[in-house]
């Protein structure tokens, strides 16, 4: 299969979540990937994981058992001891070869404009990986526009707005991306026609599919299929963009 035609889910969680009351297993993920023809999934712990580092190890194990089918994203609360945060994130990127860092505005209670919010952006910038930020439910911290100052402070850092505003704040996510070329849109839970609008106005090279939950994988793929996009655009938003942004290689 040519590199750019891979189908990638850029947003998935493994393990349990005491914040949202959710659970996703390796089997759930593999079954949905098989069902929907997903080549690779980018996996992170839930914000309510009992111990983030244990879930990071579990993700690394999943990546090792299924080479090229999974990539990891580190997700740790930036509150508390700075060294503890930086050590765990650095371990994920350098030792476990994860491809990004998550800032969870609602799950970890982090304002992107705060000092602890900046810690996430600064760490991602220093380690040379993209930062993914939860947007949508969880206002005011989850408002997409709150990522604009970080995008301007770190112009060569790629920041992915997870859920692209989650339908209700999608217009704001589009505006944020329109004024900052280093903001990217991951579209889980968005309205189909809004996804088309984001692709048409921001460009396919800054829009990517994500599913968030295993049961939502078939839904998100069906949504994109129903848009009847041009083949080159479809290939980008379903995989090519993620390959470039996360520097994925096989
Ligand atoms: Zn999520």
Strands (E), the chain: 8-17, 22-24, 40-45, 70-74, 100-103, 131-134, 159-162, 183-186, 207-208
From the CB of residue 137, how many other CB atoms can be counted at a distance below 10 Å? 15
CA of 121 to the centre of ligand 1 (A): 18
CA of 160 to the centre of ligand 1 (A): 12
pLDDT of amino acid 143: 98
pLDDT of amino acid 2: 47
Residue-wise pLDDT tens digits, 37-47: 999 999 999 99
CA of 173 to the centre of ligand 1 (A): 16
pLDDT of amino acid 50: 85
Question: Residue with structure tokens 């930086």?
Answer: 86
Q: Which residue numbers in the chain have pLDDT < 50?
A: 1-3
CA of 46 to the centre of ligand 1 (A): 7
CA of 126 to the centre of ligand 1 (A): 24
CA of 151 to the centre of ligand 1 (A): 21
CA of 82 to the centre of ligand 1 (A): 24
Return the CATH number of the domain spanning residue range 7-245. 3.20.20.140
């Amino acid at each position: 299969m040519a590199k750019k035609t891979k189908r990638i889910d850029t947003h998935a969680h493994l393990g349990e979540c005491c914040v949202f009351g959710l659970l996703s297993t390796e089997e759930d993920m593999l079954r949905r990937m098989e069902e929907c023809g997903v080549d690779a999934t980018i996996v992170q712990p839930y914000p309510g994981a009992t111990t983030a580092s244990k879930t990071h190890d579990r993700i690394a194990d999943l990546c090792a058992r299924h080479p090229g089918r999974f990539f990891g994203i580190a997700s740790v609360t930036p509150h508390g001891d700075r060294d503890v945060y930086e050590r765990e994130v650095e371990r994920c990127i350098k030792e476990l070869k994860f491809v990004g860092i998550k800032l969870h505005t609602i799950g970890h209670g982090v304002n992107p404009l705060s000092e602890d919010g900046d810690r996430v952006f600064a760490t991602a910038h220093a380690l040379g990986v993209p930062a993914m930020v939860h947007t949508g439910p969880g206002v005011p911290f989850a408002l997409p526009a709150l990522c604009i100052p970080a995008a301007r402070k770190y112009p060569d850092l790629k920041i992915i707005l997870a859920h692209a505003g989650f339908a209700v704040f999608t217009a704001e996510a589009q505006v944020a991306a329109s004024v900052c070329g280093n903001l990217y849109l991951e579209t889980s839970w968005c309205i189909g026609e809004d996804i088309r609008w984001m692709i048409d106005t921001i460009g396919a090279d800054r829009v990517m599919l994500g599913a968030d939950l295993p049961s939502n994988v078939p839904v998100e793929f069906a949504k994109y299929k129903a848009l009847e996009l041009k083949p080159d655009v479809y290939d980008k938003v379903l995989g090519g963009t993620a390959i470039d942004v996360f520097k994925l290689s096989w």
